[in-house]
Structure 1
Amino acid sequence: MTVSDMAKVELHLHHEGAAPPAFIRGLAAEKKVDLSGIFNEHGGYHYKDFWDFLKVYEAATSVLQTPEDYARLTTAVLEESAAAGVVYSETFLSPDFCGDRDVGAWREYLAAIREAADAAEAEHGIVLRGIVTCIRHFGPQKARETAACAAETAGDWIVGFGIAGDENAGALEDFVWSFDCTREAGLRLTAHAGEWGGPESVRDALDHLRVERIGHGVRAIEDLALVDRLAEDGVVLEVCPGSNVVLGVYSDWRAHPIHRLRERGVKVTVSTDDPPFFHTTMVNEYNRLADAFEWDEGVFEDIARTSAEAAFCDVATKDKILKRLERS
């Protein structure tokens, strides 16, 4: 078996950001929406930097307008993930894009997504769970509305709450209410930090939002005392190396700190973030990491187990995924 063939667990995947470009182009054509400006000559997504990426992302998302659109999106995303060997995935979903944070509309979108996910599980064996995510640059008031949607639908399928978007917009402490609300509803918590914000953003997420996982978190490496805290407290990093390299957070794969973080005892996982935007798949992530750091199958088996153990799903689902990893 090669690392490409191994069963994989992905914890950091943006649902809309995983939309294949061909799917978005087709949907735009159906709706007679001109999105030609967001694609390059090869048909892939085109952007200049992270902030332009956010604009392109939101433009692509604009054609996802109905629960049926999201059901079709879910089918397309899970087909791609399953083809890369992913057996369990957690996806970030934003009521901002699914019903404009109206709880009733959000329930309709969620039902459609779940129905498509159940069909994909039956056909491909891949299990999907959702993490409701507020958008940082939309502000703390809209985050409260998003948190209300999350709290109302918390359960066996919506298993977590998080925050994404522009890390330089506002302060994480402004979102404490939303995280307290969803924590009380029984949801597990994660937050994007330590990608564009430095190590202090990771510390803020831990201190103010009291999360157990950090989305990205890689710039913690700039503060070794913080790295030691992450290791000692068992905080899990949802690391997306290909995303970091494409966006210029690090110059190349060998410069990426995932290996150093792991050597210092931090629990690291591997994900694709927004795979078509960054021209990657889980197979590509595994192969590039193997090349950059000479990781063997044992390292990736450990990362997959760490990922499964850090998953926000219920114990029965987690046990099922761990057994599948043992058999792979």
Structure 2
Amino acid sequence: MKSMPKIELHLHLEGAAPPAFIRGLAQEKHMDLSGLFNPDGSYRFTDFWDFLKVYEAATSTLQTPEDYRRLTLAVLEESAANGVVYSETFLSPDFCGGRDVGAWKEYLHAIRDAADQAERQMGITLRGIITCIRHFGPDKARETAVCAAETAGDWITGFGIAGDEKVLQPKDFLWAFDCAREAGLRITAHAGEWGGPESVRAALHDLNPERIGHGVRAIEDLALVDELAERGTVLEVCPGSNVALGIWPTFRAHPIGKLFDRGVKVTVSTDDPPFFHTTMAREYDMLSDAFDWDDSVFATLNRTALDAAFCDTDTRSKIAKRLEAANA
């Protein structure tokens, strides 16, 4: 499955940082982050909330636009090696300049510069979705939304929310989402990972997103599953992440197959791949083994992802040609 062209819609840039990359930055900056890693060099965490702490500690090494330029190249190199031809990554001005618009623009310039280089050299196209951090609160989300509105365009194309689902409610962030929507940004929202089906329903009804990040706990409420199918809401599903964090014990037990069979538009992504010991190629391999999915099913998932991508028509057409050439 490694060579099959793939589209990924749910990737956190900092969460995709290879552990060796973060260790290298820490050494350069004389930071002691040894407690973040297992003896084999992988990230060490016990559950989702510990993962959030480790994630933010690892991100503390990323202190300049140049750090983010290097990070973007490292992440895209790994994605391209696993067949990804188009990716959307979540970016948080919280981590890139402390939500100051001027500083954020400097970080964004560095990220875009790396993305342009990767497209030339590796053939992978990247777009950015700005996310506010739920557990940082609505006031900081407003500042993040202003950063998003000020840089909305052909590259920053979406706005969303990530973080701890058990903190606050989607409606608490309406100002930020209204600001982003008025700036022309398309909307996604993390829900239904830890908050259960009620969190999916709240995000769906309060924020009216085109896509929901994860959303898989909707399977516990079949009326909600049917509503998602009827609305055409796209789920950015990250099976390996869900299994690694213990939401489901195995890929075979994961509900992506049931959601797909009930007509929900599902896509496949890695979320924070090195944290969860996964890649896009591994996701495809594991799903193929678990559900006997063949290339035609993955072609359908990729077509769904391309239709749902937050990019312009020209970019969509270019990526479609790459998929068609591979499927010919």
TM-score by length of 1: 0.99
Counterparts of 1:233 and 1:52 in 2: how far apart (Å)?
A: 35
The residue number in structure 1 matching 2:38 is 40
The residue number in structure 1 matching 2:75 is 77
Counterparts of 1:69 and 1:225 in 2: how far apart (Å)?
A: 46
The residue number in structure 2 matching 1:223 is 221
The residue number in structure 2 matching 1:281 is 279
Counterparts of 1:290 and 1:284 in 2: how far apart (Å)?
A: 10
Please give the secondary structure, in 2, of the residue aligned with 1:128: strand
Could you list the runs of 4 or more consecutive aligned residues of structure 1 that deviate by over 3 angstroms after TM superposition?
none
Q: 1:4 Cα deviation (Å)?
A: 2.7
Q: How many residues align?
A: 326
Is it true that 1:153 corresponds to 2:151 in the alignment? yes
The residue number in structure 1 matching 2:101 is 103
Q: 1:251 Cα deviation (Å)?
A: 1.1
Counterparts of 1:197 and 1:318 in 2: how far apart (Å)?
A: 33
Is it true that 1:302 corresponds to 2:300 in the alignment? yes
Counterparts of 2:61 and 2:304 in 1: how far apart (Å)?
A: 36
- Could you list the runs of 5+ residues in structure 1 that have no partner in the other structure? none
AA of the residue aligned to 1:259: G
AA of the residue aligned to 1:288: M
The residue number in structure 2 matching 1:90 is 88
AA of the residue aligned to 1:91: T
The residue number in structure 2 matching 1:131 is 129
The residue number in structure 2 matching 1:198 is 196
Please give the secondary structure, in 2, of the residue aligned with 1:63: coil
The residue number in structure 1 matching 2:117 is 119
Counterparts of 1:327 and 1:146 in 2: how far apart (Å)?
A: 39
Counterparts of 1:119 and 1:303 in 2: how far apart (Å)?
A: 28
Q: 1:127 Cα deviation (Å)?
A: 0.1
Please give the secondary structure, in 2, of the residue aligned with 1:33: coil
The residue number in structure 2 matching 1:31 is 29
Counterparts of 2:15 and 2:2 in 1: how far apart (Å)?
A: 22
Report the aligned-residue RMSD. 0.5
AA of the residue aligned to 2:42: G
- Could you list the runs of 5+ residues in structure 2 that have no partner in the other structure? none
Please give the secondary structure, in 1, of the residue aligned with 2:89: strand
Q: Which string of whole-angstrom CA distances, capped at 9 and with x for unpartnered residues, describes residues 233-266 of structure 1?
A: 1100000000000001101111100000000000
Counterparts of 2:28 and 2:2 in 1: how far apart (Å)?
A: 36
Counterparts of 2:22 and 2:60 in 1: how far apart (Å)?
A: 10
AA of the residue aligned to 1:257: P
The residue number in structure 2 matching 1:181 is 179
The residue correspondences of 1:4-15 to structure 2 (distance < 5 A) are 4-15=2-13
Q: Which string of whole-angstrom CA distances, capped at 9 and with x for unpartnered residues, describes residues 68-94 of structure 1?
A: 000000000000000000000000000
Please give the secondary structure, in 1, of the residue aligned with 2:252: helix
Please give the secondary structure, in 2, of the residue aligned with 1:273: coil
Is it true that 1:17 corresponds to 2:19 in the alignment? no
AA of the residue aligned to 2:194: W
Counterparts of 1:100 and 1:179 in 2: how far apart (Å)?
A: 19
TM-score by length of 2: 0.99
Counterparts of 2:44 and 2:324 in 1: how far apart (Å)?
A: 39
Q: 1:319 Cα deviation (Å)?
A: 0.9
Q: Which string of whole-angstrom CA distances, capped at 9 and with x for unpartnered residues, describes residues 256-310 of structure 1?
A: 0000000000000000000000000000000000000000000001101111110
Please, which of 136, 139, 146 is the counterpart of residue 141 of structure 1? 139
The residue number in structure 1 matching 2:60 is 62
Q: 1:210 Cα deviation (Å)?
A: 1.0
Identity %: 75
Counterparts of 1:325 and 1:100 in 2: how far apart (Å)?
A: 38
